[in-house]
Amino acid sequence: MVEFLDRPRRVRLGDQVAGLLLAAIRLHEYLPGQRLPPERELCLRLGVNRTAVREGLRWLENNQYIEIRRGKYGGAFVRQPGRDLALERVQSRAEQLRQLFEYRALIEPFACAVAAERITAAELERLQALAAAEENEPVRAKRRALDVEFHQLIADSTRNHHVSQAVREIRIELGPGLDLIQESPARSRESHQEHSRIIKALASGAATPARQAMHRHVMATEREIRRALVDLGVGGWPAGGAVDREVGGLAG
């Protein structure tokens, strides 16, 4: 019998559970220090058996994404990755990260341009609320959660499922790089200002200013991650990327 080489492979339920929970952690749906739902609840939410949940949790524990605590107040708690661990996760996939930077610089500005023509008043109001909450939030992990929602809302407002999914996947893959960036009040202010300019551009309904505003923002984040890598002694990471040089004209 001839077998097709591209036939989908079956993925174990435990691996699926691990992947779903890892995505939720990287998207900051569960914050560092927060307890994951109990096993029974995870079974119901994910539609799997307890064995699969336990296998998934074991993988997350072995890879230092969660900590399992025993006793009355125990459970699975999200770990805050130190910079050494974050660097270890990024160092082995430098080429994938470089390609991710390029991909993001192409996708998110395009999504913002499309959103400028399709976003609703209610969505703009929600973006403004997220930006205000982010500006006044002292905890970086919570600001990251707000930032995830901000970018995803813009992607969703394109009314294009593929664009929405692409932005979600980008953010999941970008998580380890963002873990490298240290707390910086100055950068937090800059990021808030960039978000405000994005909202203003979206409210104008003009695609080009929206694309430019988002391009500036994603390139600023890339530079912060590259700077962190250089500071940690990882070679081959210049301050700006190929996309920044090639299409930097979009940023004005």
Q: What is the pTM of this model?
A: 0.88
Q: Domain residues of the chain, as ranges?
A: 13-78, 83-251
CATH class of 13-78: mainly alpha
Q: How far apart are CA 76 and CA 38, in angstroms?
A: 8
**37, burial (CB in 10 Å: exposed 0-12, middle 13-18, buried 19+):** middle
Q: Are 31 and 41 in contact (CB under 8 A)?
A: no
Q: Please give the pLDDT value at position 91.
A: 85
Instruction: State phi, psi for 181 to the nearest 5 degrees.
Output: -75, 125
Lookup: tokens for 58: 């074991």
Residue 241 banded pLDDT, cuts 50, 70, 90? low
Lowest average pLDDT, out of 108-117, 133-142, 228-237, 243-252, goes to: 243-252
pLDDT digits (tens, 9 = 90+) for 147-164: 999 999 999 999 999 999
Is 80 exceeded by the pLDDT of residue 18? yes
| 65 SS3 class | coil
- The b-or-e profile of 230-248 (16+ CB within 10 A means b, else e) is eeeeeeebeeebebbeeee
Half-sphere exposure of 25 (CA within 13 A, CB side): 28
pLDDT digits (tens, 9 = 90+) for 103-146: 999 999 999 999 999 999 999 999 999 999 999 999 999 999 99
**Of 81 and 77, more confident:** 77
pLDDT digits (tens, 9 = 90+) for 172-188: 999 999 999 999 999 99
Angle between helices 161-179 and 140-156 (to 10 degrees): 160
**What share of the chain has pLDDT > 70, as a percent?**
88
pLDDT digits (tens, 9 = 90+) for 21-58: 999 999 999 999 999 999 999 999 999 999 999 999 99
Longest Cα–Cα distance in the chain: 63
Fold of 83-251: Four Helix Bundle (Hemerythrin (Met), subunit A) (1.20.120)
Q: Are 17 and 48 in contact (CB under 8 A)?
A: yes
Lookup: tokens for 169: 């996947």
E strands, 2-54, are: none
Is 80 exceeded by the pLDDT of residue 9? no
Among 4, 16, 106, which residue's Cα sits nearest to residue 57?
A: 16
Give the containing element (helix H, strand E) for 211.
helix 207-231
